[in-house]
């Protein structure tokens, strides 16, 4: 430091940095916080073929990080080499680098970590009489005792780089980051058991879990591990994704849009078993959900992509969470096309088995991973979801699937223990069709029975009672119709015999004239009102309106559309503006609450819904209908018990 001259006339001397300093500089990129060490050490354990990994932390990992595995170990004569910079057993030449399949390959994690901590390696292979321990600081090698495998102990992280240490958060926060690092590994390696201890307490123990095979397929999904790591709700509230498109094979789990949350903290993307962050691909998932999920809500999902390793450059980032993808646009397309139909065919329903008494859960499935450990969510729900998924793949034309939403009414209070005998109801005047007479296949939403509270249409189908939110459902039907009509400008318009003059703000006025064509595509023919007063109070003349709203005040629709256009700004992609506009149009055209419908109108709505993609959700991602099955009613009324 002192030799560095500040004199601007003499050039400073160029020198090679010493080894320790190089490692500390590298550590700056690789080791950001305890969780980065955990990630690197678990990477190494997995690369060594471990099937059981135990992580122990003290004070959020700052005092101690120890990672113990049962992998192949490191021979005693190579322990010192493992700690050297650019020393690796994983690649030998450029060719290996271009198709790397191991987690590590840069040979710098141990060296970098050792340069900012007190590190020791204890390892035993299958061929040594006993284990050996190497102290990185002193270089001392001692005999030690342990089974085959390796333990890496990292103490006093950043003790010699106080600036780094100051950036660390509380032990609880650092611990949470370490847990997240383990989770990212665990989600992709269900065949490996993981345990985590913090300050002497065991926080998690996820056993190696077999994957559930998909019926009639050689694909298996590790839903049990996913449920362990992300919570059972993640599995209960989602459906599987399995697809192969062009260069990419994928499998994963998509949580239903109605369960989207405020935070994007359950979105996991893996490429060839490696957790990665990639804006383009995340955007593909986001836009696939955007059709059923408006606004700021964040869906939860887990996606594994399998791509030819030659197409992925993992050597972009020292911590390898960012990768460079060849043809990332093609991958974007592939992802979007794979996810969209799965979401489009979703019907709200099997939202949750939570809170259901055990007697209501499905019978044990032959696919149960561990029959001796009853865990209904792992047994029944994924299987049910898998069944629905296999149907999805079977037909490219998604068709609404009617299922009993188990647990839909599980929040209802428990029925009284001894219900009084119910008098036989008088026969209804117009008897509803017998349950067994209903053709389930072509009319899955069944036959309308009546209206409830001016908001809901009640119908009966094969399963039982269907409850439809009529405004929301109609809104979706219209939205999809409008979307189809938009392209060829065939949204039905009604010309007004007497054009309507609307007073607007100067901003609305300018917006309307700037987007005249766009509005015309929405069946709204709007021109400037060129009269003497218009200089003072801007006005617009409306010559035609969408047929569906002809009977209502078109002003409200016009103002809403102009406000949408402003929100999106003129330079925004028309695509985005389009969906917002069509959504507004659909909302304004849909049946209003408290409008009385006759049975024929209700049935027409049900048939429209059956024909409409995504009809299970309104444009804002809320469900539009549910089923209350006979079985649920029986259970509720304690029939047959």
Is 318 a binding residue for ligand ADP by CB under 6 A? The answer is: no
Is 367 a binding residue for Mg ion by CB under 5 A? The answer is: no
CB neighbours of residue 635 within 10 Å: 18
Is 82 a binding residue for ligand ADP by CB under 6 A? The answer is: yes
Is 461 a binding residue for Mg ion by CB under 5 A? The answer is: no
**43/608 with CB nearer Mg ion:** 43
Is 69 a binding residue for ligand ADP by CB under 6 A? The answer is: yes
Out of 30, 31, 110, 448, the only residue in the binding site for ligand ADP (CB under 6 A) is 110
* Strand residues in 519-600 grouped as ranges (E): 525-528, 539-546
Is 132 a binding residue for ligand ADP by CB under 6 A? The answer is: no
Is 37 a binding residue for Mg ion by CB under 5 A? The answer is: no
Q: Which of 144, 157, 86, 72 is nearest to 116 (CA)?
A: 157
Out of 23, 24, 36, 44, the only residue in the binding site for Mg ion (CB under 5 A) is 44
Is 75 a binding residue for ligand ADP by CB under 6 A? The answer is: no
CB distance 124 to 143 below 8 Å? no
71 binds, among Mg ion, ligand ADP, none (CB under 5 to 8 A by kind): ligand ADP
Smallest gap, in angstroms, from Cβ of residue 177 to ligand ADP? 19
Q: Could you tell me the sign of the dihedral formed by the alpha carbons of 353, 359, 360, 365, in that order?
A: positive
Residues 144-173 that bind ligand ADP (CB under 6 A): 150
What are the Cα distances from residue 524, in Å, to 59, 63, 492, 558? Answer: 65, 68, 10, 8
Count residues contacting ligand ADP (CB under 6 A)? 23
User: Torsion angle, CA of 280/220/100/71, rounded to 10 degrees?
Assistant: 130
Adjacency order of strands within the sheet including 625-629: 447-452, 456-460, 464-469, 625-629
Count residues contacting Mg ion (CB under 5 A)? 4
312 binds, among Mg ion, ligand ADP, none (CB under 5 to 8 A by kind): none
| Helices 223-230 + 171-188 axis angle, to 10 | 170
Residues 29-68 that bind ligand ADP (CB under 6 A): 40, 44-45, 48
606 binds, among ligand ADP, Mg ion, none (CB under 5 to 8 A by kind): none
The string of DSSP codes covering 536-556 is: TS-EEEEEEEEGGGTTS-HHH
Q: Which residue has the tokens 């962050």?
A: 277
Question: What contacts 487, CB < 8 A, 6 or more positions away?
Answer: none
Out of 104, 240, 405, 538, the only residue in the binding site for ligand ADP (CB under 6 A) is 104
Smallest gap, in angstroms, from Cβ of residue 101 to ligand ADP? 13
CB distance 241 to 219 below 8 Å? no
What are the Cα distances from residue 54, in Å, to 38, 152, 197, 345? Answer: 11, 11, 8, 42
Out of 34, 71, 104, 398, the only residue in the binding site for Mg ion (CB under 5 A) is 104
Residues 566-595 that bind ligand ADP (CB under 6 A): none
Of the candidate spans 41-49, 50-58, 359-367, 461-469, the one that interacts with Mg ion by CB under 5 A turns out to be 41-49
DSSP-based helix, strand, coil % in the chain, nearest 5 = 35, 20, 40
**25/412 with CB nearer ligand ADP:** 25
380 binds, among ligand ADP, Mg ion, none (CB under 5 to 8 A by kind): none
Applying CB under 6 A, the residues found at the interface with ligand ADP are 40, 44-45, 48, 69, 71-74, 82, 87-90, 104-111, 150
Applying CB under 5 A, the residues found at the interface with Mg ion are 43-44, 104, 109
């Amino acid at each position: 430091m002192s030799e560095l001259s500040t004199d601007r006339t003499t050039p400073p001397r160029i020198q090679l940095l010493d080894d320790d300093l190089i490692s500390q500089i590298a550590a700056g990129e690789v080791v950001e916080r305890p969780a980065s060490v955990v990630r690197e050490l678990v990477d190494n354990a997995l690369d060594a073929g471990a099937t059981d990994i135990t992580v122990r932390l003290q004070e959020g990992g700052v005092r101690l990080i120890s990672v113990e595995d049962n992998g192949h170990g490191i021979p005693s004569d190579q322990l010192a080499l493992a700690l050297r910079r650019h020393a690796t057993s994983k690649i030998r030449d450029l060719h290996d680098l271009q198709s790397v399949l191991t987690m590590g390959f840069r040979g710098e994690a141990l060296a970098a970590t050792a340069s900012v901590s007190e590190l020791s390696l204890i390892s035993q292979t299958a061929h040594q009489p006993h284990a050996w321990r190497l102290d990185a600081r002193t270089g001392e090698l001692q005999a030690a005792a342990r089974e085959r495998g390796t333990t890496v102990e990292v103490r006093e992280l950043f003790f010699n780089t106080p600036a780094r240490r100051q950036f660390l958060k509380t032990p609880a926060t650092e611990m949470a980051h370490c847990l997240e690092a383990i989770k990212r590994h665990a989600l992709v390696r269900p065949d490996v058991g993981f345990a985590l201890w913090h300050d002497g307490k065991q926080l998690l123990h996820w056993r190696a879990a077999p994957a559930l095979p998909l019926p009639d397929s050689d694909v298996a999904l590790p839903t049990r591990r996913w449920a362990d790591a992300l919570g059972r709700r993640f599995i209960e509230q989602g459906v599987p994704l399995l697809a192969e498109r062009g260069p990419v094979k994928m499998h994963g789990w998509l949580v239903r849009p109605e369960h989207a949350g405020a935070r994007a903290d359950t979105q996991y993307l893996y490429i060839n078993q490696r957790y990665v962050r990639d804006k383009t691909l995340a955007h593909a998932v986001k836009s696939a959900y955007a059709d059923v999920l408006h606004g700021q809500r964040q869906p939860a999902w887990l996606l594994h992509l399998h791509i030819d390793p030659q197409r992925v450059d993992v050597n972009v980032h020292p911590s390898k969470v960012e990768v460079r993808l060849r043809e990332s646009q093609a991958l974007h397309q592939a992802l979007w096309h794979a996810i969209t139909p799965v979401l489009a065919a979703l019907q709200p329903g099997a939202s949750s088995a939570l809170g259901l008494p055990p007697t209501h859960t499905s019978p044990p499935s032959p696919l149960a991973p561990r029959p001796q450990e009853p865990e209904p969510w792992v047994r029944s729900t994924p299987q049910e979801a898998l069944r629905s998924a296999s149907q999805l793949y079977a037909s490219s034309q998604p068709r609404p699937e009617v299922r009993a939403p188990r647990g839909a009414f599980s929040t209802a209070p428990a029925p009284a223990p001894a219900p009084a005998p119910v008098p036989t109801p008088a026969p209804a005047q117009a008897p509803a069709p017998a349950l067994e007479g209903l053709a389930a296949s072509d009319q899955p939403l069944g036959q309308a029975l009546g209206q409830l509270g001016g908001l809901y249409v009640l119908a009966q189908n094969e399963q039982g009672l269907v409850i439809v939110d009529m405004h929301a459902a109609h809104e979706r039907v219209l939205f999809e119709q409008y979307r189809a009509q938009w392209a060829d400008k065939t949204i039905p318009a009604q010309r007004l015999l007497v054009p309507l003059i609307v007073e607007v703000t100067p901003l609305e006025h300018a917006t309307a004239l700037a987007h005249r064509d766009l509005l015309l595509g929405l069946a709204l023919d709007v021109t400037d009102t060129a009269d003497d007063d218009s200089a003072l109070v801007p006005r617009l003349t409306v010559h035609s309106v969408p047929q569906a709203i002809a009977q209502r005040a078109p002003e409200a629709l016009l103002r809403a559309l102009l406000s949408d256009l402003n929100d999106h700004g003129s330079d925004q992609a028309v695509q985005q503006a389009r969906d917002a506009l069509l959504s507004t149009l659909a909302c304004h055209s849909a049946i209003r609450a408290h409008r009385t419908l006759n049975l024929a109108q209700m049935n027409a709505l049900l048939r429209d819904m059956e024909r409409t993609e995504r009809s299970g959700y309104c444009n804002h991602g809320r469900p539009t209908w549910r089923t209350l099955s006979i079985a649920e009613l029986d259970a509720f009324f304690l029939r047959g018990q």
